[in-house]
Structure 1
Amino acid sequence: MLLYPGLETVMEDLLPKKIPLIVVKCPNHLTLVVVNNVPLFFCIRDGPYMPTLRLLHQYPNIMRRFQVDRGAIKFVLSGANIMCPGLTSPGGVLDEEVDAERPVAIYAEGKQHALAIGFTKMSAKDIKGINKGIGVDTMHYLNDGLWKMERLD
């Protein structure tokens, strides 16, 4: 399974040929991929590169998506990991094809844009079947430090 199934169609828009791509190593094991002073992708420790929320808001179909119920929104916006019941209760939606240790966009019931990007701790099938514990580690969420870093000027 491709990590980012919709990315191929927008690569030329994201990474124009004559504009340099810069890799920035930040403290706290964070690495950014920057184009035109705008962070497009991030990587924490040795994990995969994931799109920033700003990029995901521009191109919402580049990632697999999960949806949390309304009750989970305030916790996700505080940076909390996503618990299985928030994904399996009414209002929650799982993409059954997502395996463990995969990046996913986190949407919220009744909202248009993603509110977080996370990394699955277990497959969608296990999240549904086990239905307890952490289903997704939250890596980036609205109003965190990476969100506030609009440009690197």
Structure 2
Amino acid sequence: MSQLFKTFGKEGHKASGHSQLKSSVQRSIRGKIAEQYPWLETTGVLEVILPKKQELTLIKLPEHVQLLVADRVVLFFSTRDGGWFPTLRLLHKYPDMMPRLRADQGAIKFVLSGANIMCPGLTSPGATMHDEVEAGTPVALYGEGREHAMAIGYTTMSTAEMRAQNKGIGVENLHYLNDGLWKTLKID
């Protein structure tokens, strides 16, 4: 899964379909996003990002990936495992929308090449678990000494388990700086 958007936007990477969403489907997706990221709704940001009268398009990609697009800009994506994830561009505008974990300096170059985040990279000196989360939680991943998120993924175990086990994959990397999704500014 960590190479999800590595080739996105390049020739040969084709969408299997896209469709304008009916208002009932838009409401359903909006509701799921509000439930998953309550900060968006309590601060009123959800209405800014996804106004009720805005037309949304859903683009289906291989590997059961879907992109939620408004005004030709990808805002969220979902995977086969379910749930919606913001794009890094959206997260950079609204950094408080999801829980944060900070990887140590040594993990940064690996994360930026699409690697999953191993527990030692999240538990060592220089790393910080800003928020306590359960397994399967979407998280923003920051790098030591960096201001903006460098990746988005989901936890494979709780933060308590990451500390206790301190081995294995802690976060499945789905979208990272300079992958194909990051480089795609507008969908034609």
Could you tell me the TM-score, scaled by structure 2's length?
A: 0.77
Contact 2:133 2:158 in 1 (8 A): yes
CA distance in 1, matches of 2:185, 2:81: 24
- What does residue 60 of structure 1 align with? 95
Mean Cα displacement is larger for which, 110-119 or 8-17? 8-17
CA distance in 1, matches of 2:84, 2:154: 11
- What does residue 83 of structure 1 align with? 118
- What does residue 105 of structure 2 align with? 70
Pairing 1:101–2:139 present:
no
* Counterparts of residues 3-152 of structure 1 (less than 5 Å): 3-8=36-41, 9=43, 10-152=45-187
Larger Rg: 2
Q: What secondary structure is seen at the aligned counterpart in 2 of 1:31?
A: strand
Q: Which amino acid in 1 is paired with 2:149?
A: A
CA distance in 2, matches of 1:27, 1:11: 28
Report the CA distance between 1:130 and its aligned residue. 0.6
CA distance in 2, matches of 1:24, 1:128: 38
Contact 1:121 1:137 in 2 (8 A): yes
CA distance in 2, matches of 1:70, 1:97: 21
Q: What secondary structure is seen at the aligned counterpart in 1 of 2:108?
A: helix
Report the CA distance between 1:23 and its aligned residue. 1.3
Q: Which amino acid in 1 is paired with 2:101?
A: F
Question: How many pairs does the alignment contain?
Answer: 152
CA RMSD of aligned residues (A): 1.3
Q: Which amino acid in 1 is paired with 2:60?
A: K
Give identity over the alignment, percent. 59
Contact 1:116 1:139 in 2 (8 A): yes
Q: Which amino acid in 2 is paired with 1:115?
A: M
Contact 2:101 2:131 in 1 (8 A): no
**Deviations 1:34-67 (CA, angstroms, capped at 9, x unpaired):** 1111000001113211101010011111000000
Q: Select the structure that is richer in helix.
A: 2
CA distance in 2, matches of 1:128, 1:3: 25
Q: Which amino acid in 1 is paired with 2:151?
A: A
Consecutive unaligned residues of structure 2, counting only runs of 5 or more, are 1-34
Q: Which amino acid in 2 is paired with 1:41?
A: F
- What does residue 3 of structure 2 align with? none
Consecutive unaligned residues of structure 1, counting only runs of 5 or more, are none
